Structure 1
Amino acid sequence: MKKQFLYTSLVLLMGLGANAQDKSAVKFSGFITKETAYKHLSILASDEYEGRETGKKGAWMAADYIKGEFKKLGLKPPVNGEYFQPIDMATYNLSQTVLTVNGAAKEATVDFNIPAANVGNKGFAFNASDILFAGYGLKKDGYDDFAGQNISGKVVMIFAAGDPTQKAAPGPMDRATMRKMMIARQEKLKYLLDNGALAVLAIDPTLDNMTAEARARSAGNGGRLTLLNAENLANMQKKVLSLVNISTATANDILKASGLTVAGLQQEITTTAKPASRVIKIDVSASAMKQEVKVRAENVLGFLEGSDPKLKKEILVVTGHYDHIGLTTSGPDKVNNGADDDGSGTTGVLLIAEAFTQAKKAGKGPKRSILFMTVVGEEKGLLGSDWYSEHPVFPLENTIADLNTDMIGRTGFEYQGKPDSANYIYVVGSDKLSSELRKISEATNATYTKMILDYKYDDPADPEQIYKRSDHYNFAKHGIPIIFYFDGLHQDYHKPSDEISKINFPLLAKRAQFTFFTAWELANRANRPVVDKTDK
């Protein structure tokens, strides 16, 4: 692990060292307190807010609370006189999902699952009197499951994952391995679509032992949210491959008339190192319909206009996502409170906004303008920040940087039990696009907060790919320098146990102060940080 220990004036990078403290910055950082942090977070992470899931009651309550706080602070509503930026978002519910084998109906979410993404706008229906079993659906040098087989117009059954030509890695899969498997699966489906397959039955063992909660999520594709942007709307018009994921038991039911089993076919392929593709005579039918349901979701924006006539057109953005993952159906505690993820970051945005608005009231406001923005839909795929990056309220070319706080209230695994557990922060992406931004960050830390700045997650080989997993990334992909402040993964991540009782409020406040001091420097320095790199 590479760390930067910045407790002394040894930080002398390109002329940037530990500068004299700005007395105004120090004064107004005093408004960032553990007490105020507790006030905000005890509301946002309460059971009443039901885990703040995007498109649900709790997220709307959180948005209303943040709007009220922005209004109290005197921030301007920048979206045509409003604080909310509505997001055009929908979910696609499936109905009439049917799968029959020899006329016998199978049970949805138990025996089979149909992903909404693989159902066209008009739905699908097929009837077949035979199917093509095509092993692992692989076509590569030395191994071809489709050799001598006609795919066009066929219902094709394949194993959803796996490659008999490669030895499986021992132990649980990491994110990098899972990502490779997902890419490989998409490549298989694309090959089948391009070659005219009518539909695909994918044997998916994850259906075999699903919990009731997981089955509920899979019904109607779990209510997956989709941005109704130009790209997605265009993709919806494209032809998709009808896909039905089936359990091992359902696959065995299809195979038994031919005297075959899933385990037997896997063994045959493994033993011979050759495909076992063949046509299976059996009646199989399936159908599904898809319905679009619009979802209420909004980013919450508060604007502080800069004081310098020339510089105020330039915008510094401070972000955090206010959504979380909502309710669970199992266990005694059903609320995923998301106190750290990302109630802490949202609280940080509110604290920093208060410090800057107090400075402006005292005649010490920032020279550049600052947009304080709490976004929704991060947990659904960075949707709110993606929407803003495509529909910016202020021109992206005028946006000098994004400072993103996502989880700043806890101690991650690697620092637990260590002497420095209450004085560190992971700083992610600070030099991906601007070498100058990291130097500004380090000099600010050396001058004011003297925390340990850990750059572990800047490693391009990071298996967690943290750099791409929060809202700053939707600014970075447009060439805008960013810093992502993060406390690291911990045992309560995405669990109901991510409660306010486990937040270290002094540490949350100190991390928010570090972000504030960095924002103060960026908002008041003569020049915006130079963009001199292209690593996104």
Structure 2
Amino acid sequence: MRPSVIALCLLTGSASVAEDIKTHVTTLASEAMGGRLTGSDGARMAADYIIKELERLGALPLPGQSSFQMPFEFTAGVRDTGSSLFLDLASGEWSAPTDTLRGLSFSETGEVEGPVVFAGYGITVPESQDFGYDSYFGLDVEDKFVLVLRYFPEDASAEVKTVLARYSGLRYKALNARERGAKGLLVVTGPRSPNAGELAPLNFDSAAAGSGIVAASITGDVAVKLFENVADKTFEQAQADLDTANPHVAGFAIPGVTLRLNVQLERKTGTGYNVVGYFPPSEDEGDAAAFVLLGAHYDHLGRGRQGNSLAGKDETGETHGGADDNASGVAAVLAAAERLKTRARKASIAFAFWSGEEMGLLGSGAFVASKAIAPEALIAYVNYDMVGRMRDNKLVLQAIGTSSIWPRLIEQTNVPVGFDIKASDDPYLPTDVMSFNQAEVPSINFFTGSHKEYHRPADRVELINFEDLERVAQFGAILTEKLANLDERPVFVKVTRTQQEGGSRDTVRAFTGTIPDYATEVQGLLLSGVIEGGPAEQAGLRAGDVIIEFAEQTILNIYDYTFALDVVKIGEPIKVVYQRDGERKETTLTPRARK
């Protein structure tokens, strides 16, 4: 049962909290903030706004810190400034045209020279997976170049693809080659793969560190040139042999070729700022060295020119205000701090506002690495991400498998608030809770569901459900207060990531244009919307549809759907069975390649 507005005021202790929340969201999502892209003037304005609020609340910088701002460096951009490749063949030296190669964003710069070994897809599956696949079996790549195919075997079974997809990211392939002593890596998109023959995009890798190996993408034409001295098979035949994922198909040295690669990249380093403050214990006997951390990311996508914008053609270049993602989360943390400043607490309570989340959890990752609060000093981490679009009183609480304490605390906390809770154990999420799970800190993530405005300029203030956002903020405040007054710390539980969970965004290649609804419990995949102009919209799917079969696979949940995405073929129509208003329907959807 939902509490009344009067009850909410009693919970918060201030009738002005709702107005404060609206002010926070409106300010952060305004045109003046420019979309709060990490490192931008808009992000700095947002940080200044948050700092003023922390000062107003009486928060302090963390012990040992002179400021609320905590800087971290990131790669703000990268460009190839003139990489080159030469082949020393029996017929003479051949120079690759400049448009046939490109340094990979994580490559080291410099020139290296050596013979070439073809290592198939460059994938090694760890022994812990009980799956025998090693592209390097029997190969000596010490001080040599490794040529590998992008992606993973095209004709493998669905089950095998799901395993291999996890280890097919380009950074992983670079690490795999480097650890075997290779001096350079060449990646080519095979003729039987999506984006056949094309160079891998120079998407900047926002981690500041390189990969420890010189690495470049080459076109299919360069690979064909390399294979001229291979007597018994063409480049396409070599890929075809590998595409069944037969572990007995071995790589081989490419005879009669010495390769010289010079990768020249220019990286632009930027500085992002986390904003962190805290309240010390309110009791003299409290433990000032123990912290409960409540956080949300405040960065977003700027004008969508970098990152994962889903803007339609008519929205290109517009400010992505990110009212729900994640001005709503910032407002919730500030509202929780408003309540908590006067509450009794045995432990310190810290409030963190992360930047760099949209670039890959950079801010929270840098904070964990800095040990400004050591992981062992953290009682728990509570995260708000996209909490402003509640529907039907449903609140999604994720990562509760990280401690056995969460179910009991959630039940107690929900008594005065009255949400319909959907709980998930899974902490492997594309949000800042992941950084703390990796540091073995009990964590929980608040989420009210996806929507068709996600990562678009249309994520605007007028769509925010402010009444329920206030309730979400208070739920988090009550939960945090309970955590700060525990007699015994919760124990971290490592949640095993199962194969059922499907590949990461880096390795799932198929784009369907669906927007799942994570907040509603159904058998199947409920859509909260579809991307304008995407395959799902073209197939006639729309918000409210429930996908129950996809590519001949039964879909019971989001994991089944992600599993299915791993194994579909780009450009090949697939049957989709779905329910609309209780009626079973069928359509045909053609996945596109995710660039």
Q: Which amino acid aligns with 2:217?
A: N
Q: How far does residue 486 in structure 1 lie from its aligned partner after superposition?
A: 1.4
| Aligned match of 1:324 | 300
Q: Secondary structure at the match of 1:443?
A: helix
Whether 1:380 aligns to 2:359 is yes
| Aligned match of 2:277 | 302
| Aligned match of 2:110 | 124
Whether 1:339 aligns to 2:323 is yes
Whether 1:535 aligns to 2:501 is no
Q: How far does residue 511 in structure 1 lie from its aligned partner after superposition?
A: 1.1
Whether 1:224 aligns to 2:200 is no
Question: Counting helix residues as a fraction of each chain, which structure ranks higher?
Answer: 1
Q: 1:85 aligns with which of 39, 58, 70?
A: 70
Q: 1:182 aligns with which of 129, 144, 169?
A: 169
Q: Distance in 1 between matches of 2:422 and 2:336?
A: 22
| Aligned match of 2:340 | 356
- 5+ residue gaps, structure 2: 87-93, 126-130, 306-310, 496-595
Q: Secondary structure at the match of 1:501?
A: helix
More displaced 10-residue stretch of structure 1: 91-100 or 55-64: 91-100
Q: How far does residue 442 in structure 1 lie from its aligned partner after superposition?
A: 1.1
Q: Which amino acid aligns with 1:488?
A: G
| Aligned match of 1:244 | 216
The answer to whether the Cα contact below 8 Å between 1:145 and 1:277 also exists between their aligned partners in 2 is: no
Q: How far does residue 55 in structure 1 lie from its aligned partner after superposition?
A: 2.0
Q: Which amino acid aligns with 1:454?
A: K
1:53-64 alignment runs, 5 A limit: 53-64=37-48
Give the direction of change, closer, same or farther, for the CA distance of 1:57–1:135 in structure 2 (3 Å limit): same
Q: 2:418 aligns with which of 443, 450, 453?
A: 450
Q: Secondary structure at the match of 1:520?
A: helix
Q: Distance in 1 between matches of 2:389 and 2:381?
A: 22
Deviations 1:137-175 (A, max 9, x none): 4689999876887644443322123237833569xx98x
Q: Which amino acid aligns with 1:263?
A: E
Q: 1:161 aligns with which of 137, 143, 151?
A: 151
Q: How far does residue 45 in structure 1 lie from its aligned partner after superposition?
A: 1.8
Give the direction of change, closer, same or farther, for the CA distance of 1:158–1:432 in structure 2 (3 Å limit): closer
1:40-51 alignment runs, 5 A limit: 40-51=24-35
Q: Which amino acid aligns with 1:438?
A: P
More displaced 10-residue stretch of structure 1: 259-268 or 39-48: 259-268
The answer to whether the Cα contact below 8 Å between 1:522 and 1:528 also exists between their aligned partners in 2 is: no
Q: 2:187 aligns with which of 187, 192, 202?
A: 202
Q: Which amino acid aligns with 2:273?
A: E
Query: TM-score by structure 2 length?
Result: 0.66
Q: Distance in 2 between matches of 1:504 and 1:263?
A: 54
Q: How far does residue 410 in structure 1 lie from its aligned partner after superposition?
A: 1.9
The answer to whether the Cα contact below 8 Å between 1:428 and 1:467 also exists between their aligned partners in 2 is: no
Q: Which amino acid aligns with 2:394?
A: Y
The answer to whether the Cα contact below 8 Å between 1:307 and 1:366 also exists between their aligned partners in 2 is: yes
Q: Using CA pairs below 8 Å that are at least 6 residues apart, which structure has the higher relative contact order?
A: 1
Deviations 1:305-327 (A, max 9, x none): 33211126243321111112333
Whether 1:471 aligns to 2:432 is yes
Give the direction of change, closer, same or farther, for the CA distance of 1:137–1:471 in structure 2 (3 Å limit): closer
Give the direction of change, closer, same or farther, for the CA distance of 1:395–1:289 in structure 2 (3 Å limit): same
Deviations 1:485-511 (A, max 9, x none): 112333333333333333222222221
Q: Which amino acid aligns with 2:477?
A: F
| Aligned match of 1:439 | 408
Q: Which amino acid aligns with 1:349?
A: V
Question: Counting strand residues as a fraction of each chain, which structure ranks higher?
Answer: 2
Q: 1:427 aligns with which of 369, 393, 397?
A: 397
Q: How far does residue 516 in structure 1 lie from its aligned partner after superposition?
A: 1.9
Q: Distance in 2 between matches of 1:481 and 1:145?
A: 37
- 5+ residue gaps, structure 1: 1-6, 9-20, 227-231, 412-420, 460-465
The answer to whether the Cα contact below 8 Å between 2:26 and 2:461 also exists between their aligned partners in 1 is: yes
| Aligned match of 1:409 | 388
Deviations 1:116-144 (A, max 9, x none): 4331xxx221356x744443346899998
The answer to whether the Cα contact below 8 Å between 1:339 and 1:499 also exists between their aligned partners in 2 is: yes
Q: Which amino acid aligns with 2:60?
A: K
Q: Which amino acid aligns with 2:285?
A: K
Q: Which amino acid aligns with 1:324?
A: H
Report how many residues are paired: 465
Q: How far does residue 53 in structure 1 lie from its aligned partner after superposition?
A: 2.1
Q: How far does residue 392 in structure 1 lie from its aligned partner after superposition?
A: 4.3
Q: Secondary structure at the match of 1:113?
A: strand
Superposed CA RMSD: 4.1
The answer to whether the Cα contact below 8 Å between 1:316 and 1:519 also exists between their aligned partners in 2 is: yes
Q: Distance in 2 between matches of 1:506 and 1:77?
A: 31
Q: Secondary structure at the match of 1:344?
A: helix
Q: How far does residue 206 in structure 1 lie from its aligned partner after superposition?
A: 6.2
Deviations 1:30-88 (A, max 9, x none): 4431x332221122122332322222222212111111222233333346442212235
Q: Distance in 1 between matches of 2:45 and 2:253?
A: 56
